[in-house]
């Protein structure tokens, strides 16, 4: 009998970056792994630690306000950046939300003119704007072919993110502001790394996105995704309810 696969999830700065229930993304991944009869361990990674990112199967970093971002920016761009960048280039799946998403870019210029260094994992940069983008969001993605190709969530950021040629948007905005309120893009994708402004948390209401990340993790680990389908009726109903609510509360 083949040995049971144990997926290793890395959770960056869990005590500093956890806005709007971002931790729910970890809970969703853990559940969806266990429902497939696979095993999982979550490794929490804090300030000063230099983990071997290549040994992990999937990494998550959540959102935070400027204060928390300032506390971790140098650590992320310092002891962690090279290892994380190399692992992502080699195919490590990663999900980054809002504040964490911003700090994986080249830099984040805050409202008071400070420049927080980015880890340079994603080819993008962020500048604070005057107006906050707050509210429900619906985007359409081409990351997978099956319906629903929508991703739903909640955004609350003043940062405007602009993508360089090294990544492409996660989706096109149907409702909400997205990366910068201007170019119609939301989030970023590079190899198996996904950045997004969507809180919620994003994965419970978007099971296809959760499985996209898990498929990439399993492919990298054992050469084939082989992810058994789940009954996602409740999750898909929540997804569609969120789309309706976003349309009804459109700004
Ligand atoms: N401080 C960042 C901004 O406002 C990120 C906020 C967040 O993670 N929600 O743009």
228 burial via Cβ count (<10 Å: 0-12, 13-18, 19+): exposed
Under DSSP, the state recorded for 168 is: B
Question: At 3, is the pLDDT very low, low, confident or very high (cuts 50, 70, 90)?
Answer: low
Catalytic status, residue 199: yes
Which pair of structure tokens corresponds to residue 52? 């071997």
- Of 13, 73, 97, 159, best ligand 1 pocket probe by most atoms within 8 Å of the beta carbon: 159
pLDDT at 42 over 60: yes
Joined together, the tokens standing for residue 43 give 């490794």
Distance CA 210, CA 203 (A): 6
Residue 190 falls in the annotated catalytic set: no
Radius of gyration from C-alpha coordinates of the chain: 17
Nearest ligand 1 atom to the CA of 69 is 1
* pLDDT tens-digit readout, 135-167: 999 999 999 999 999 999 999 999 999 999 999
Choosing from 157, 167, 190, 199, the catalytic residue is: 199
The Å distance, Cα 92 to ligand 1 centre, comes to 25
- CA dist., res. 7 & res. 191, Å (int): 19
Q: What percent of the chain has pLDDT over 90?
A: 92
CA dist., res. 250 & res. 234, Å (int): 24
Supply angle C-alpha 217, 140, 232, rounded to 5.
55
> Range with the lowest mean pLDDT among 2-6, 73-77, 98-102, 175-179?
2-6
Asked whether the predicted pLDDT for residue 124 surpasses 60, the reply is: yes
Distance 118 CA to ligand 1 centre (A): 14
Find, among 78, 88, 83, 118, the residue nearest to 102 by Cα: 118
Of 94, 27, 28, 32, the residue nearest 57 (C-alpha): 94
Q: Is the pLDDT score of 2 beyond 60?
A: no
Q: How far is the CA of 39 from the centre of ligand 1 (A)?
A: 33
Q: How far is CA 179 from the centre of its chain?
A: 13
Retrieve residue 229's tokens: 């389908």
β strands within the chain, DSSP E: 6-12, 39-45, 58-61, 94-97, 107-109, 115-117, 124-141, 150-163, 171-175, 185-186, 188-190, 193-196
Query: 53 near 19, Cβ under 8 Å?
Result: no
Q: What is the pLDDT of residue 21?
A: 87
Atom of ligand 1 nearest to the CA of 128: 10
Q: In ligand 1, which atom is closest to the CA atom of 156?
A: 9
Averaged pLDDT, 171-197: 98
Which distant-in-sequence residues (6+ apart) come within 8 Å of 136 by Cβ? 152, 153, 154, 175, 176, 242, 245, 246, 249
Burial (CB count within 10 angstroms: exposed 0-12, middle 13-18, buried 19+), residue 131: exposed
Which domains does the chain carry? 6-250 (3.40.50.880)
Query: Which of 16, 65, 178 has most ligand 1 atoms within 8 Å of its beta carbon, as the pocket-test mutant?
Result: 65
Q: How far is the CA of 18 from the centre of ligand 1 (A)?
A: 11
């Amino acid at each position: 009998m083949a040995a049971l696969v144990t997926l290793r999830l890395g959770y960056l700065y869990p005590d500093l970056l956890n806005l709007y229930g971002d931790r729910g993304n970890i809970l969703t991944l853990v559940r969806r792994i266990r429902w497939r009869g696979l095993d999982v361990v979550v490794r929490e990674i804090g300030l000063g630690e230099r983990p071997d990112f290549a040994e992990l199967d999937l990494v998550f970093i959540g959102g935070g306000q400027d204060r928390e971002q300032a506390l971790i920016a140098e650590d992320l761009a310092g002891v962690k950046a090279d290892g994380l960048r190399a692992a992502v280039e080699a195919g490590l799946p990663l999900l980054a939300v809002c504040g964490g998403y911003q700090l994986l870019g080249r830099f984040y210029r805050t409202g008071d003119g400070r420049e927080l260094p980015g880890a340079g994992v994603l080819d993008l940069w962020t500048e604070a704007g005057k107006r906050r983008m707050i509210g429900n969001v619906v985007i359409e993605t081409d990351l997978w072919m099956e319906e629903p190709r929508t991703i739903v969530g909640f955004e609350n950021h003043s940062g405007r993110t602009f993508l360089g040629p090294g990544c492409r948007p996660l989706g096109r905005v149907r409702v909400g502001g997205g990366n910068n309120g201007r170019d119609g893009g939301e989030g970023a994708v590079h190899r198996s790394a996904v950045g997004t402004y969507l809180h919620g948390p994003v994965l419970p209401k978007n099971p296809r996105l959760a499985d996209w990340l898990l498929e990439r993790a399993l492919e990298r680990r054992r050469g084939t995704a082989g992810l058994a389908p789940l009954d996602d009726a409740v999750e898909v109903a929540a997804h569609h309810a969120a789309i309706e609510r976003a349309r009804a509360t459109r700004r």
